[in-house]
């Protein structure tokens, strides 16, 4: 079994390591910014370097960004040498000289060595003051990973201008699809009291290059635009500005009617336009660098321009005119069936393309369409969204989900960088890869932070926050590179245990796919909370809310036909791309049932029949969750006890959930196809009725 192979490989690696001294307990609050003490030659080099941190203030002004860069360097360097340089005169220099470089990207930083008499130094220059913040964090990252300060040279420019977190946090503290406690934003206490956690949040974001944050749920409350909330938002903006972070606000489209006293929110109504202009002026008076509005409109019951017979472009452009050159409207492309209760016979995965492609070229220059990675809804695996490349005259950015709504809700391990890497590298046939198409604009990720002490609910979910930022800064980084960076900074620099953790991470997303959405199945989760399997749900109000709509299983077969004989969703891709998925014998089996409805006895290229392959895939997912438990258990000597115990408990939950998904799903498929399990497959231990009877009113994030 593949899972058993994973155990054997990694156990051999771990067993070869000399056991370290007992480790101090940690709670995960410091994330990847632990700056754990160095050892050996890396420590000796840094002690020898022992730099003086100097701010170049030739202009007679010290920008707050330079101050936070210097503070972070002092914090990180001091922690990494662990007092070993106490009492020793500074031998080296780190000079922060980001006064602006004409004609250079404002976020670009350069780290170069220099000599001052007999002292060695590193000089950080950049396009603007904030570039020194990125440069400082990059120096600390490299030194934390063991780099030699005497050979360090860096020159980095972010690949994308907008690298953004979208919070689905509500003002009452509830986080939609949040699995790490309540919201980190204490609106009740703002603006008078700023939680110090907000500074640590900004530090973490700046360290990975995130430069924008939308602070509230896209299912927005109109009162977030009232003066008292603008004052609260301004306090956050002031705190985050030195870290290069601009604040955005999710805006409810119906606000002129909800809080403005108007009878309409029609985007072509002059009074509505005037109300939004005045509101934008009010916000910019308080927050001069306000980023702009994030808008979810005419989707899942949210108000929007189509309520008045207007187009998405009409709505977005009205708001864009109110902001003018000062800011940006980010308009979510997640749109389908305008109102609750309305039915659209179009395949759900095709609706955004059908609505938005005819509007290409009609959006204002300061409007961005924010497009999910796939055409459905953040599923464990989807093909890339056909909108990428199909709207060449419209600015598009990628929206990913860092919070794990459909990938286990922050239990166990599901490292998502391979999923994002998969979509970024996808060739669209229309202007290059997805990464190339979004490069002029950016990426947004639905945040996974909360009030949990470790920020993300489980320690490994912090890796997804980290990976999102690193990929948005540089999509050429590989999932493996990022996992190795994060593990070394978060857990251990020792090679063997580090590599064991990295291998666990790299295979974890595929394992979740195996036991929740094998062979291209999708949207099989429970109603409302989206927790656990419920492929039997077929009676919800709208067809496209039902798992049955997506798997279309019956006695004859399973899968959604999206070829020309079915919904013809393939026609939304270029002929070259569509050809890759058009024929069952040649399609990547990972997408097989996404695009094809096939008989249970269909023969796959593996030699197995479809039913046999489906069962084997579920079983592989289960076995690999068991394998990770064993690999993690072998790491006891190398991970501090508190975090090791917490992760061991998370992995045990994940293993239980994998078995639940496997057994409940197979029980349902068998109720339709009446086929026995293949020889050697473990029997399903409970009845289908028992699995269907499970309820979870306490499930978080719903």
Catalytic residue annotation = 300, 377, 405
Is 368 in contact with 407 (CB distance < 8 Å)? Answer: no
DSSP-derived 3-state class of residue 389: coil
In sequence order, what are the beta bridge partners of 603?
A: 609
Assigned token pair, 51: 């730099």
Cα dist. 208→15, 371, 442, 608 in Å?
33, 22, 14, 44
CA distance 490 to 258: 46
Asked whether the bond before 668 is cis by omega within 30 degrees of 0, the reply is no
CA distance 399 to 420: 10
Is 290 in contact with 246 (CB distance < 8 Å)? Answer: yes
CA distance 359 to 61: 48
CA distance 609 to 604: 6
Cα dist. 658→367, 413, 419, 654, 673 in Å?
42, 12, 19, 6, 22
Q: In this structure, is the dihedral angle defined by the CA atoms of residues 631, 634, 638 and 641, taken in order, positive or negative?
A: positive
Cα dist. 383→349, 431, 505, 593, 658 in Å?
10, 17, 22, 12, 23
Alpha helices in 287-350 (DSSP H): 312-323
Is 418 in contact with 509 (CB distance < 8 Å)? Answer: yes
Give the residue among 358, 438, 429 at the shortest CA–CA distance from 397. 438
List, edge to edge, every strand of the sheet that includes 154-156: 51-55, 92-96, 119-126, 109-116, 154-156
Helix (H) or strand (E) holding 115: strand 109-116
Cα-atom radius of gyration of the chain, to the nearest Å?
Answer: 26
Helix (H) or strand (E) holding 121: strand 119-126
Give the residue among 74, 272, 209 at the shortest CA–CA distance from 485. 209
Which runs of E-coded beta strand occur in 207-287? 212-214, 246-250
């Amino acid at each position: 079994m593949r899972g058993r192979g994973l155990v054997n490989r990694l156990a051999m690696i771990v067993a070869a390591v000399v056991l370290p001294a007992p480790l101090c307990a940690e709670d995960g609050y410091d994330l990847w910014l632990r700056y754990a003490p160095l050892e050996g030659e890396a420590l000796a080099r840094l002690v020898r370097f022992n730099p003086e941190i100097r701010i170049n203030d030739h202009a007679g002004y010290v920008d707050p960004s330079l101050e936070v860069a210097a503070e972070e360097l002092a914090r990180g360097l001091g922690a990494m040498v662990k007092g070993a340089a106490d009492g020793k005169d500074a031998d080296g220099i780190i000079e922060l000289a980001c006064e602006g470089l004409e004609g250079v990207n404002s976020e670009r930083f350069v780290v170069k060595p220099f000599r001052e008499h007999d002292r060695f130094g590193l000089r950080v220059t950049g396009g603007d003051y904030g570039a020194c913040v990125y440069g400082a964090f990059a120096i600390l990252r490299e030194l934390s990973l063991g780099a030699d300060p005497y050979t360090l040279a860096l020159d980095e420019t972010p690949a994308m201008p907008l690298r953004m977190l979208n919070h689905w946090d509500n003002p009452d503290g509830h986080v939609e699809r949040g699995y790490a406690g309540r919201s980190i934003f204490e609106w009740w206490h703002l603006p008078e009291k700023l939680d110090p956690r907000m500074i640590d949040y900004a530090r973490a974001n700046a360290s990975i290059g995130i430069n924008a944050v939308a602070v509230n749920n896209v299912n927005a409350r109109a009162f977030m635009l009232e003066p008292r909330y603008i004052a609260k938002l301004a306090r956050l903006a002031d705190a985050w500005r030195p870290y290069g972070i601009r604040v955005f606000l999710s805006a409810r489209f119906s606000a002129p009617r909800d809080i403005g006293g108007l009878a309409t929110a029609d985007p072509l109504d002059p009074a509505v336009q005037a109300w939004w202009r005045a509101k934008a002026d009010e916000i910019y008076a308080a927050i001069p660098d306000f980023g702009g509005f994030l808008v979810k409109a005419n989707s899942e019951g949210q108000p929007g321009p189509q309520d008045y017979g207007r187009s998405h472009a009409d709505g977005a452009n009205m708001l864009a005119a109110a902001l003018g050159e000062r800011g940006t409207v980010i308009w979510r492309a997640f749109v389908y069936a305008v109102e609750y209760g309305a039915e659209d016979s179009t395949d759900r995965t095709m609706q955004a393309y059908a609505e938005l492609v005819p509007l290409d070229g009609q959006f204002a220059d300061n409007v961005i369409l924010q497009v999910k990675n796939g055409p459905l809804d953040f599923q464990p695996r989807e093909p890339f969204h056909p909108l990428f490349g199909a709207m060449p005259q419209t600015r598009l950015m990628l929206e990913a989900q860092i919070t794990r709504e459909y990938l286990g809700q922050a239990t166990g391990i599901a490292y998502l960088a391979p999923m994002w890497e998969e979509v970024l590298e996808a060739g669209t046939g229309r202007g290059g890869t997805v990464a190339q198409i979004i490069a002029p604009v950016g990426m947004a990720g639905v945040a996974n932070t909360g009030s949990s002490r470790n920020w993300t609910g489980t320690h490994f979910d912090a890796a997804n926050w980290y990976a999102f930022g690193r990929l948005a800064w540089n999509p050429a980084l590989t999932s493996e590179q990022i996992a190795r960076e994060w593990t070394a900074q978060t857990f251990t620099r020792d090679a063997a245990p580090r590599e064991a953790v990295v291998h666990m991470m790299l295979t974890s997303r595929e394992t979740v796919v195996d036991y929740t959405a094998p062979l291209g199945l999708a949207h099989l989760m429970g109603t409302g909370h989206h927790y656990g399997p419920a492929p039997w749900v077929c009676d919800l109000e709208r067809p496209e809310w039902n798992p049955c709509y997506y798997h279309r299983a019956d006695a004859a077969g399973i899968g959604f036909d999206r070829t020309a004989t079915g919904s013809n969703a393939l026609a939304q891709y270029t002929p070259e791309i569509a050809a890759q998925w058009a024929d069952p014998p040649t399609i990547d089996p990972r997408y097989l049932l996404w695009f094809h409805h096939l008989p249970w006895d269909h023969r796959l290229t593996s030699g197995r029949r479809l039913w046999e392959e489906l069962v084997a895939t579920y079983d592989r997912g289960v076995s690999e969750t068991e394998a990770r438990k064993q690999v993690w258990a072998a790491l006891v000597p190398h991970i501090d006890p508190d975090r090791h115990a917490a992760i061991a408990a998370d992995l045990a939950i994940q293993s239980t959930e994998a078995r639940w998904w496997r057994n409940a799903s197979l029980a349902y498929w068998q109720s339709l196809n009446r086929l026995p399990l293949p020889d050697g497959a473990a029997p399903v231990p409970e009845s289908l009725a028992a699995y269907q009877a499970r309820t979870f009113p306490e499930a978080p994030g719903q």
